[in-house]
C-alpha cells in the first residue's frame, strides 16, 4: 500500500500526506524497518474497488502496489 510519490501523479487522487495531517510529525523520525500500525482507505478505480500503481499488468499480478489515503499511522 502506498501513496503517489509526487504531486503531479497525485493530482486527482489526493493521497500525499500533508504536513498538517495530525499524524505527520510521528512519521518524521521513523526509519526504514520501523513497525507501524495504520488506517487507510483504498483509492478506487473505474471498474475496480482498488487502484493499483504498477506500470504493467504483470507486476500488478505478481507484486501489486495499491493506492491508499492514510488516515493514521503510528509506530508500534
Domain that holds residue 7: 1-76
Residue 47 has a pLDDT of 80
Count structural domains, the chain.
1
Q: What is the pLDDT of residues 50-67, one digit of tens each?
A: 888 876 665 566 678 899
Residue 60 has a pLDDT of 61
> Which helix H or strand E contains 27, and what residues bound it?
helix 24-27
- In the predicted model, residues of the chain with pLDDT beneath 50 are none
Q: Are 42 and 68 a contacting pair, CB within 8 Å?
A: yes
Residue 59 has a pLDDT of 58
Residue 65 has a pLDDT of 85
pTM: 0.81
Query: Which three cell numbers mark 36?
Result: 507501524
Question: Nearest-CA neighbor of 3 among 58, 53, 75?
Answer: 53
Query: Which three cell numbers mark 29?
Result: 523520525
Amino acid at each position: 500500500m502506498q501513496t503517489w510519490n509526487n504531486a503531479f501523479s497525485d493530482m486527482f487522487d489526493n493521497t500525499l500526506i500533508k504536513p498538517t495531517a495530525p499524524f505527520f510529525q510521528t512519521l518524521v523520525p521513523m526509519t526504514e524497518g520501523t513497525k507501524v500500525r495504520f488506517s487507510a482507505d483504498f483509492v478506487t478505480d473505474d471498474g475496480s474497488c482498488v487502484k493499483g500503481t504498477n506500470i504493467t499488468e504483470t507486476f500488478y499480478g505478481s507484486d501489486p502496489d495499491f493506492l491508499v489515503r492514510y488516515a493514521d499511522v503510528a509506530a508500534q
